[in-house]
Structure 1
Amino acid sequence: MSEKNREGKRTAREQLAVEREKHKRAEKRRRALIVGTAVAGVLALAAVIGVIAASAGKDEGGGEASGPAVAPSGAQGKDALAIPVGKESARSTLTVWEDFRCPACKGFEQAYRSTIHKLTEAGQLKVEYHLATIIDGNMGGSGSRTAANAAACAQDAGKFTAYHDVLYDHQPAETDDAFADEDKLIELAGKVEGLTTPRFRRCVTESTHGTWVEKSDAAFQKGDFQGTPTVLLDGKSIYGDRSMTPAKLEQMVREANA
Structure 2
Amino acid sequence: MWEDFRCPACKVFEKNYSPVINELTDSGRLKVEYHLVTLIDNGMGGTGSRNAANAAACAQDAGKFAAYHDVLFENQPMESDDAFADDDRLIELAGKVDGLDTPAFRTCVEDGTHNSWVGKSHEAFQKGSFTGTPTVMYEGKNINQDRSMTPEKFKRMVEEATEGQ
Superposition TM-score tier, normalisation by shorter sequence: over 0.9
Larger Rg: 1
Query: Can you give the 5+ residue segments of structure 2 that lack an aligned partner in the other structure?
Result: none
Deviation at 1:228, TM superposition (A): 0.6
Aligned length: 163
1:139 is matched with which residue: 41, 44, 48?
44
Q: CA separation in 2, counterparts of 1:131 and 1:257?
A: 26
Shift, 1:243, TM fit: 0.8
1:73-88 aligned within 5 A: none
SS of the residue corresponding to residue 128 of structure 1 reads coil
Greater relative contact order, per chain length (Cα 8 Å cut-off, separation 6+): 2
The runs of 4+ residues in structure 1 deviating greater than 3 Å are: none
Q: Name the TM-score, length of structure 2 as normaliser.
A: 0.98
User: What's the CA shift for 1:222?
Assistant: 1.3
Paired residue type of 1:125 = L
What is the Cα deviation at residue 183 of structure 1? 0.3
1:179 to 69, 74, 84: 84
More strand by share: 1
Identical residues among aligned pairs (%):
67
The residue number in structure 2 matching 1:100 is: 5
Gaps of 5+ in 1: 1-95
Matched, 1:116 2:24: no
Counterpart in 1 of 2:112? Answer: 207
Q: Name the SS for the 1:219 alignment partner.
A: helix
- The equivalent of 1:216 in structure 2 is 121
Deviation of 1:234 after TM superposition, in Å, equals: 1.8
Map residues 25-174 of structure 1 onto 2, 5 A cutoff.
96-174=1-79
Distance in 1 of aligned mates of 2:115 and 2:144: 28
Partner of 2:97: 192
Identify the residue that residue 159 of structure 2 maps to in structure 1. 254
Q: CA RMSD in A?
A: 0.5
Deviation at 1:249, TM superposition (A): 0.5
